[in-house]
Structure 1
Amino acid sequence: MSELSRREWLALAGGGVAAALGPGAVAQAPAAEEGDMILIPAGPCLIGTTDDRAAYLAQAHGYHVSWLSGEYPQRRVEVPAFLIDRYPVTNRRFLEFARATGHAPRVYWRGGEPPEGLLNHPVTCVNRADALAYCAWAGLRLPSEVEWEKAARGEDGRAFPWGQEFDPEACRWNPEKLASRPGTAPVDAHPRGASPYGVLDLIGNVAEWCADPPPPHGALRGGCWLTSEVLNLRAAARHMNGFDNNAANFYGFRCARDVV
């Protein structure tokens, strides 16, 4: 089945998983299918940015180099194989979870339902605890920052998932700055943004929670629909949220799991 069809059917047919199980039943997520996820093979990747490159980027964009301090020194890391979602978790997928457990975003959704017409958009207004709760229910986990970056950059350490040069049509971002406020886009709206492995929507749309660093500080990767600086849309860019209980209408996530 497709990435969405099985989850959609389970969530919507017959009133959802919770209705199908009956009152008082303990809801369990359907098993993740490998077709929903992409295998990232074991192997090396370049993580972060060299000191010289960070200094150049900071000067070119009018920032102090400390803005990029979380990116350097660059290092080469061997990463075990893992699976990662092709797309960020959508409102459709989170709705299945919400109906099964009663756990819905505290803002933006009304009456436990996502905004009309946005089922194929990434779920937003989720903090890291919300993301971890979904992952636990689904039998999955959040990717580490290293895993996220490898899924985005491949083994050659490219600046963006699609290559070395920024492509304004490859992601959902905010080139007009705050004047336009574009909001989220469907997760499959930017096929040109695919990574070397075929992972989509890693840059822009929603900033994605990762499993590390440990609480209370959380890292978000990939920029979002509100991001107007290309500097912050690079695959190496790290966005430290400060506290992982924060949520915003541009925070989302995707899931990963070990290869067994």
Structure 2
Amino acid sequence: MQAVWLLLAAWLAAAPAMAQSPVTTSYAKAYQQGEEFRNPRDGSVLVYIPGGKFRMGDERGAPHEQPVHEVVLSPYHIGLTEVTWEQYIQFCKQARHPQPARPDWCDRDDYPVFGVTFEDAEAYCNWAGLRLPTEAEWEYAARGDDGRLYPWGNEPAGWDGDWRANCAGTSRGSDGFEWASPVGRLPDGASPWGCLDMAGNVAEWVADRFDPEYYLTGPARDPKGPSKGSLRVLRGGSWASAPSLVRASRRDFARSFPTFNYFNVGFRVAK
């Protein structure tokens, strides 16, 4: 019996710490002190997200955002911002990977990279020694555990004249950029964990395949999406999305074609 108790004590000591609930910005900043990670290969800054549980989905959203269900996540890191053109070009040069077409207006290296396929995003992550976040990890990083609609709260972007997201319907160009904007330019739109650009700018590939009924059948702990399917999940919306389509629970999806790039789709990394 003593051996059993010793094993139980060891297991509890090794178990991941759970985040305080609800997650507040002040708590997150205190908890994360010194917990940012800069990846040496590509320079990505990743934010630490402690283990925690939250209610994923939205009963007021689309049918495939339902039912709202409890998810428990192990600790992880996720990109502070989306991967930039500067980082992606470095990858293309070093890995001899094809570089996507870059429009004339995209003249800054700190714009988020876009026009990449799911396979491109996965190849970048493999090169950098990182991975794509799961859909559940992305949503928890974007909204915390209080059920908020957007990373910053429940009011739409720009409702009070303070632009928190680069999306359609927010006085196009009001942030000084007509299409995408440089990463991290809208700090008032930060999530409870401090993640930036999780609403609008570019839509983001995540690791999961898309199944409209996955919320009914997926595991409660560390879900990773269905094992089969031709569609991939996109999160966050883009500069072309209406404010209602950049909600933290919103699930979009697309088929990834090796020869076709979506003009407004990028990604962020995780580990």
TM-score (norm 1): 0.74
Contact 2:79 2:195 in 1 (8 A): yes
1:96 aligns with 2:117: no
Aligned-pair CA distance for 1:115? 6.8
Q: Gaps (5+ residues) in structure 2?
A: 1-35, 210-227
Q: Which amino acid aligns with 1:230?
A: P
Q: Which amino acid aligns with 2:252?
A: H
Match of 2:25 in 1: none
Aligned-pair CA distance for 1:209? 0.1
Aligned residues: 210
Q: Distance in 2 between matches of 1:38 and 1:163?
A: 20
Contact 2:168 2:243 in 1 (8 A): no
Q: Within 5 Å, give how 1:110-189 maps onto structure 2.
A: 117-168=107-158, 169-175=163-169, 182-189=178-185
Q: Percent of aligned positions with the same letter in both sequences?
A: 37
- Residue of 240, 247, 251 corresponding to 2:253: 240
Contact 2:135 2:208 in 1 (8 A): yes
Q: Gaps (5+ residues) in structure 1?
A: 8-29, 55-67
SS of residue matched to 1:151: helix
CA deviation profile, 1:103-125 (whole Å, cap 9, x unmatched): 1333227xxxx976320000010
1:230 aligns with 2:250: no
Q: Distance in 2 between matches of 1:148 and 1:255?
A: 10
Q: Distance in 2 between matches of 1:107 and 1:215?
A: 28
Aligned-pair CA distance for 1:94? 0.6
1:254 aligns with 2:268: yes
SS of residue matched to 2:239: coil
CA deviation profile, 1:171-210 (whole Å, cap 9, x unmatched): 1112179999921100011001100000000110000000
SS of residue matched to 1:219: strand
Q: Distance in 1 between matches of 2:70 and 2:169?
A: 32
Q: Distance in 2 between matches of 1:163 and 1:176?
A: 17
Q: Within 5 Å, give how 1:25-44 maps onto structure 2.
A: 30-31=40-41, 36-44=45-53
Contact 1:194 1:200 in 2 (8 A): yes
Q: Distance in 2 between matches of 1:177 and 1:164?
A: 19
SS of residue matched to 2:244: helix
SS of residue matched to 2:124: helix
SS of residue matched to 1:125: coil
Contact 2:186 2:196 in 1 (8 A): yes
Higher helix share: 1
Contact 2:173 2:179 in 1 (8 A): no
Contact 1:215 1:244 in 2 (8 A): no
Aligned-pair CA distance for 1:215? 5.1
SS of residue matched to 1:37: strand
Q: Distance in 1 between matches of 2:119 and 2:247?
A: 26
Match of 1:212 in 2: 208
Q: 4+ residue stretches of structure 1 with deviation over 4 A?
A: 176-181
Contact 1:177 1:226 in 2 (8 A): no
Aligned-pair CA distance for 1:244? 5.6
Aligned-pair CA distance for 1:45? 1.3
Call closer, same or farther: CA 1:198–1:137 in 2, change over 3 Å. same
TM-score (norm 2): 0.71
Q: Distance in 2 between matches of 1:118 and 1:226?
A: 19
SS of residue matched to 1:218: strand
Match of 1:82 in 2: 76
